[in-house]
Structure 1
Amino acid sequence: MSKGDFELYRYKPEIGASILFTVLFALAAVVFVFLLIHYSVKSRRTVASLVRSQPTLRYYGIVNLAGAYIPFIFGSFVEFLGFAFRCKSSRDTTLLNPYIIQTVFLLVSPTLYAASIYMIFGRMASLLFAENLMIMPARFNTTIFVIGDVGSLLLQAAGGAMMSKISSASSGSHLVTAGLFIQIAFFGVFIINEFLFIFKMTKKPTTISVRSSSWKSLNIALLVDSFLILIRSIVRAVEFIQGYDGQIASHEWFLYIFDALPMFLLVLSFTVAFPFNNIFTIQEESVQAQKSARFDKDAYTKVDMASVEEDIVFKE
């Protein structure tokens, strides 16, 4: 393809769909921020009253607990900005900067969602005293997945920016593909981890988990969201393998059906389910169970307490 023949899009972008998803992601992000603030404050008061008379219980500080949702919020705003710049790019398909921004932002936003999923899962396992049910040591479990996620994000971001130039388009596509395969690999392992966690916890529950009614539904929600990201990443990987003239890259509806829609369903599920099913609820149930259950602490010495994430409060 010569420089004169180069086109940023292989189709005429549909501005109506871009506007729709711009509005949807913006609304969902704003609503979720309000929900997070409300339940963070509410949970802080509840947990503070529970641990006041017994400060040796295991629990997270509210900032560390709420922090698990921060990448999710950033991801939602990145999606919003991605589609906002896509609107601008759709109005004038010759503008390079809006095209680069929307390409990069829509590529990397799922990695931010993935980071929140990893962090929420790790906190949930620790609050249930179930770190020994993970594939990897609890001390490194979340860190390893997040590192893989960051690596995937950087490769996709760099590759997406490079694809706007003819001279580096091929190299950029290879970088994006590599980033997507890293994401797929880590998510594949993580999904196995989630399945094994449910199976092992059901077969041999902890004293805390049997007194928590929310962990299963939260884990299933995280599992469904993981599959949404995995499916999206597989389709995007196929897109870049096919190349610029491939079936997926040449038809805009693939972007909306296999990227925008799954990611909005993920955001919607987080937002709608949050009042009923969140990590704050798990923590409250865990603290209440620790206070009421006469569990034998020796049973938990099998869990390497040094491997518990550093931002957990736990004292003998």
Structure 2
Amino acid sequence: MSSPDSAKPEYVLWSYTPSLAGGVVAAGVMFILFLAHTFRLVKNRTWFCIPFVIGALFEGIGYSGRAAAHSDTTSKTPYIIQSTLILLAPILFAASIYMILGRLMQRTDSAEYSLIRATWVTKIFVSGDILCFLIQGGGAGMLVGAKDKDGVERGENIILGGLILQIMIFGFFLVVASVWHVRLQRRPTAASADLPWGKLIWFLYAASVCIAVRNICRVVEYAMGKEGYLLSNEWPLYLYDFLLMAITLSVCLSWYNPNIKPGRKNDIEFARR
């Protein structure tokens, strides 16, 4: 019969007590952005931006979980909610950004300027995004269900792999976007005069940089492990995750422009001119 001293110690969910004020403020900001995105989505019927709305809701609920954990750091429910939803929300933001580029290419009748077929831009990058979502979601599930250090490390390594893959996909996406951008600048199409695509592509870059920086910081976070500084302290999360994702959501409000859709088409796909 084993003694209590020989039993494995119970895994500690939090390395600190989550800030109630921080969680409440962050959740409030995200819910406001969720409502703003929902209003613009319904008003302009730009349905391909639905992942933005779902991601904003994920963020709001996630930070609510952090606020709830302030008074109970032993409960798994708020820990699971915040760790999973805050981790996965940016993947949804990226999905809409990928779809936006494909629609800009078709809306400006400049598909031939793309490194890959414009009709495949959305399919390729969103498929990669779904794969990253599944990998990171699986890692998050393993992490929150871990009962010992080995289980935690397995979950962290899976999440780390998903984040690295996401960064690689995002990097290739930025190459495709920038090449298309430069080519269209050099040889504008007649259709490009009907849309402020130059301003929209810079909004896309701004959102993309925020997501890319966030992902890199998350890679460093999980590479350092549970005992590392980033996971042992709360303030970095609000700097490289909350702040950057709030900026991303604010910038992406510009995409709910009815001009991004062809005037004679009511669904989310662009028709070729």
TM-score (norm 1): 0.78
1:125-204 correspondence runs (5 A): 125-164=105-144, 165=146, 166=148, 167-204=150-187
Offset of residue 67 of structure 1: 2.1
Amino acid across the alignment from 2:17 = K
Amino acid across the alignment from 1:68 = F
Offset of residue 206 of structure 1: 1.1
Offset of residue 229 of structure 1: 0.2
Contact 1:120 1:279 in 2 (8 A): no
1:70-100 CA distances to partner (integer Å, 9 max, x unpaired)?
A: 0110000010111111111222000012211
Q: Structure 1 residue aligned with 2:37, among 21, 32, 45?
A: 32
1:11-58 CA distances to partner (integer Å, 9 max, x unpaired)?
A: 221111110011111111112211222223xxxxxxxxxxxxxxxxxx
Equivalent residue for 2:83?
103
Contact 1:33 1:73 in 2 (8 A): yes
1:107-144 CA distances to partner (integer Å, 9 max, x unpaired)?
A: 00000000000111111110111112222112211111
Contact 2:142 2:155 in 1 (8 A): yes
Equivalent residue for 2:239?
257
Equivalent residue for 1:120?
100
Q: CA RMSD in A?
A: 1.9
Q: Structure 1 residue aligned with 2:223, among 226, 229, 241?
A: 241
Matched, 1:224 2:201: no
Q: Distance in 2 between matches of 1:169 and 1:135?
A: 40
Amino acid across the alignment from 2:101 = F
TM-score (norm 2): 0.90
Q: Distance in 2 between matches of 1:279 and 1:124?
A: 12
Contact 1:124 1:279 in 2 (8 A): no
Q: Secondary structure at the match of 1:8?
A: coil
Contact 2:52 2:96 in 1 (8 A): yes
Matched, 1:281 2:264: no
Equivalent residue for 1:17?
22
Higher Cα Rg, which structure? 1
Q: Distance in 2 between matches of 1:198 and 1:82?
A: 35
Contact 2:44 2:256 in 1 (8 A): no
For this pair of structures, how many residues does the alignment match?
261
Contact 2:125 2:169 in 1 (8 A): yes
1:274-313 CA distances to partner (integer Å, 9 max, x unpaired)?
A: 3xx64522335xx59xxxxxxxxxxxxxxxxxxxxx9444
Q: Distance in 2 between matches of 1:197 and 1:245?
A: 43
Q: Secondary structure at the match of 2:70?
A: helix
Q: Secondary structure at the match of 2:168?
A: helix
Offset of residue 4 of structure 1: 2.1
Q: Distance in 2 between matches of 1:92 and 1:207?
A: 60
Q: Distance in 1 between matches of 2:97 and 2:21?
A: 31
Q: Which runs of 5+ in 1 are unaligned?
A: 41-65, 289-309
**CA separation of 1:279/1:189 partners in 2, compared to 1, >3 Å: closer, same or farther?**
farther
Offset of residue 5 of structure 1: 5.4
Q: Distance in 1 between matches of 2:112 and 2:169?
A: 20
**CA separation of 1:3/1:229 partners in 2, compared to 1, >3 Å: closer, same or farther?**
farther
Offset of residue 314 of structure 1: 4.9
Contact 2:102 2:122 in 1 (8 A): yes
1:216-237 CA distances to partner (integer Å, 9 max, x unpaired)?
A: 1011101110000000000001
Q: Distance in 1 between matches of 2:37 and 2:157?
A: 35
Q: Which runs of 5+ in 2 are unaligned?
A: 1-6
Q: Distance in 1 between matches of 2:24 and 2:220?
A: 26
Contact 1:72 1:113 in 2 (8 A): yes
Q: Structure 1 residue aligned with 2:58, among 78, 82, 97?
A: 78
Q: Secondary structure at the match of 1:91?
A: coil
